Amino acid sequence: MNVQSFIGGTPLVELRTFDVPAGVRIFAKAEFMNPGGSIKDRIVRHILDDAERRGLLRPGATIVENTSGNTGAAIAMLAATRGYRVVLTMPDKVSEEKRDTLRALGAEVIVCPTSAPPDSAEHYVTCARRIHAETPGSFMLNQYDNPLNAEAHFRSTGPEIWEALGRSVTAFVASGSTGGTISGTSRFLKSRNPSVTSVLLDPVGSIYHRYFHEGVVDPAQIAPYFVEGAGEDHLAKCMDFSVVDDVLQFTDADAFATCRHLAEREGLLCGGTSGANVWGAVRVARSLREPATVVTVLPDSGSKYISKVYNRDWLVRNGFAAGRDLSLETTA
């Protein structure tokens, strides 16, 4: 067996320290236990396997991709076992821990300004596409627009949740950037029980919330935020709103406060998207009556964000809670 044999099959952890109605349970799938440290291991294995079968990815080729870090780590990990060169582009808000991990795995990392607009040559997606076009024989996963992204979750994440919890699942809640997790998992769960509610979580500064509710993409609403791996400044084709029932907005403060709660009360050291997901799961759980089960995912580990989410100086410097114990903010 090699490292990819251990992708998937992650445990579901019941969260018991949040104030939700009696008889309403919250479960979180510990995706940080994948060998590459995140939920993105699932989609990268699925897409690379497909590309190799179809002859789109040949021995010794270069893989190019834009990433907020986790997809890049999965690519670098699997490329190391398959003999591919890797070039990754990412926005400069990505933590140093993530950048260093990618380099340690042998990837070339190109950092682009987070503030670059989507149509700019400096935008990390545009940069990746240019490198791909200029590199003969290269392969790009195109995770934002590739339907195999969502298919990976339809084939793995969704079935694993259903096998563990079955018809007790009331709602699935997750943030989205490419849309793969929310789209594929929700589609599978709804195929087994159409009454399952799917809730997408979107950070303030992203476009998905307004697009879902009003059908509008307003460039004026695009603004920087600190959470990595959630939200977007353009519509990803992988995002399937037909299986989404509602979209809730969260703030960086919501996500980071919940991260602290998870670490200090549940013993789970998780990244910002995990905090956002659990914040949303709690919001949904509080709207339900027993019996009900809300499921979410913990996409990656907090070890990738020690210099940010779990660094009090960084939190204070960026205006989060002015040094107060953030774990107290999560049930407000």
Residue type, 241: F
| Given the residues 40, 98, 190, 304, the one annotated as active site | 40
DSSP state for residue 113 in the 8-state scheme = -
Report CA Rg, the chain: 19
Which residue shows structure tokens 């353009």?
Answer: 234
CB 127 within 8 A of CB 66: yes
Euclidean distance between CA atoms 331 and 270, whole angstroms: 18
- Residue 211: count of CB within 10 angstroms of its CB: 19
Q: Which residues contact 49 (CB under 8 A, 6 or more apart)?
A: none
User: Is 304 one of the catalytic residues?
Assistant: no
Characterize 302-322 residue by residue with b for buried, 16 or more Cβ atoms within 10 angstroms of its Cβ, and e for exposed: bebbeebbbeeeebeeeebbe
Question: Strand 12-15 and strand 24-30: pairing?
Answer: antiparallel
Catalytic residue IDs: 40
